[in-house]
Amino acid sequence: MVSSKDVAKYAGVSQTTVSRVVNTPHLVKEPTYRKVMAAIDELNYIPDGNARSLVQKKSDTIALISGPLYNPFFVETTTSIVNYANENGFKINVHFSNDENIEEIYNAIFEKKVDGIILSSVLLEDPVFEKLEKSGIPFILYNRKHENNKNFVEMDNEQAGYLATDYLFSLNHKEICWIGGPTEMSTFKGRYDGFLKAFQQNNAAINPEKIFIGKTSKENLYQTFLKVEELSEKPTAICAATDAIAIQMMDFYISAGYKVPEDISIIGIDNVKIGQHASINLTTVGISSPIDLGRIAIEKLIKMIQQQNKPCVQITEAVRLFERKTIIKKKKEA
């Protein structure tokens, strides 16, 4: 491996000067600069990022802990986070969390000297939050938040759940299923609370049989689908806590011979891109802003890093309904 010392010897200057050519060329005379650059090219020198990080205690790297990509929401946020960071001179270390490998991920992150952390995978009462704060590394949560309400960029989850559910009521749906993930996560908790609120405001009674809260893997959702099928009184509409869930349920229903929305109405939350596809046309609730949550969060994080201050970011984006074609209007009952 060619080091700056090798370059220095080859060019007949000191290692210090090589370092200057690489990092602060304006401090170096033109002929010296050319001499050193020639040596760098000749020897194919590439600075060692590890050594640099060691001495500088920073890495121009941000760690991203994203949810799994089978949820298209994270496909979009990951893309926009990576792109924005790169445009601003930061590299991104992406980690995909399934909420089980969190421990390893944090080890990996803290071992490298990342300049910041942007993450979604956090529980409302997650003890890891304290660890993050103690580490002193700037960080921000996107999508989900922690119960202590610090450093997050989220959508108005309760309002989202409310809007989705209320929209179903407005189209005369009464028998509504809720399918969502564990309420230990702020997204699911907020959205479910909104769902409940809509029932209250519409003077409707919750039927516990129609509430499905559990893991959101394909297998689990299929079990849920089967349970819904077995209900004596089937729902006319499904309120899914995320578009990913909604799209998966659509798949089950259509594969089983049902028609959406004629046989069953489905609404999601997130306003994911693939839901806008003409073949899917998922009615959903999402943020009004054209910029996604990941992008908003990474902007804030980079500002925190560059300005070396750590304000408490608290952003709750407003949401609105996106009417598309997976909901049908029911006839009013007598």
Partner DNA sequence: TAAAAAAATGGTTACGTAACCATTTAACTA
Partner DNA sequence: TAGTTAAATGGTTACGTAACCATTTTTTTA
Q: Identify the residue among 1, 205, 278, 312 touching DNA (CB under 7 A).
A: 1
Question: What does the chain come to in residues?
Answer: 334
CA gap 34, 17 in Å, rounded: 12
Question: Per-residue x/- marks for its own copies, 49-88, CB under 8 A?
Answer: xxxxxx--x-x--------xxx----x--xx--xx--x--
Q: Which stretch binds DNA (CB under 7 A): 15-23, 59-67, 149-157, 309-317?
A: 15-23
Please tell me whether residue 296 binds its own copies under the rule CB under 8 A. Answer: no
What residue 222 binds from its own copies, DNA, none (CB within 5 to 8 A, per partner kind)?
none
Interior angle at CA 169, CA 165 and CA 175, nearest 5: 85
Which 53-72 residues touch DNA, going by CB under 7 A?
54-57
Using CA atoms, how far residue 170 sits from 160, 166, 206, 311, in Å, is: 15, 6, 17, 41
What residue 234 binds from DNA, its own copies, none (CB within 5 to 8 A, per partner kind)?
none
What are the residues whose beta carbons fall under 8 Å from the beta carbon of 316, sequence distance 6 or more? 154, 155, 156
- Which CB sits closer to its own copies, 232 or 255? 255
What residue 296 binds from its own copies, DNA, none (CB within 5 to 8 A, per partner kind)?
none
CA gap 138, 46 in Å, rounded: 29
Question: Per-residue x/- marks for DNA, 74-103, CB under 7 A?
Answer: ------------------------------
Smallest distance from the beta carbon of 116 to DNA, in angstroms?
Answer: 19
Q: Identify the residue among 38, 51, 69, 94 touching DNA (CB under 7 A).
A: 51
The closest alpha carbon to 232, from 207, 202, 264, belongs to 207
Smallest distance from the beta carbon of 87 to its own copies, in angstroms?
Answer: 10
34: left (phi > 0), else alpha (psi -120 to 50), else beta?
alpha
What residue 20 binds from DNA, its own copies, none (CB within 5 to 8 A, per partner kind)?
DNA
Peptide bond connecting 72 to the previous residue in cis, omega within 30 degrees of 0: no
CB-based contact 248:70 (threshold 8 Å): no
> Could you please report the per-residue DSSP string of 250-282?
HHHHHHTT--TTTT-EEEEES--GGGGSTTT--
The closest alpha carbon to 277, from 303, 320, 247, 241, belongs to 247
CA gap 62, 118 in Å, rounded: 7
Q: Which stretch binds DNA (CB under 7 A): 29-37, 124-132, 138-146, 237-245?
A: 29-37
What are the residues whose beta carbons fall under 8 Å from the beta carbon of 113, sequence distance 6 or more? 53, 57, 58, 59, 61
Question: Per-residue x/- marks for its own copies, 118-157, CB under 8 A?
Answer: ----------------x-----------------------
Q: Identify the residue among 3, 220, 281, 316 touching DNA (CB under 7 A).
A: 3
Q: Report helix, strand and coil shares of the chain as percent, to nearest 5.
A: 45, 15, 40
Q: Which stretch binds DNA (CB under 7 A): 1-9, 61-69, 190-198, 280-288?
A: 1-9
Binding site for DNA (CB under 7 A): 1, 3-5, 12-17, 19-20, 22-23, 26-29, 31-32, 45-48, 51-52, 54-57
What is the binding site for its own copies (CB under 8 A)? 1, 44, 46-54, 57, 59, 68-70, 75, 78-79, 82-83, 86, 91-94, 96, 101, 104, 107-108, 110-113, 134, 247, 250-251, 253-255, 274, 277-280
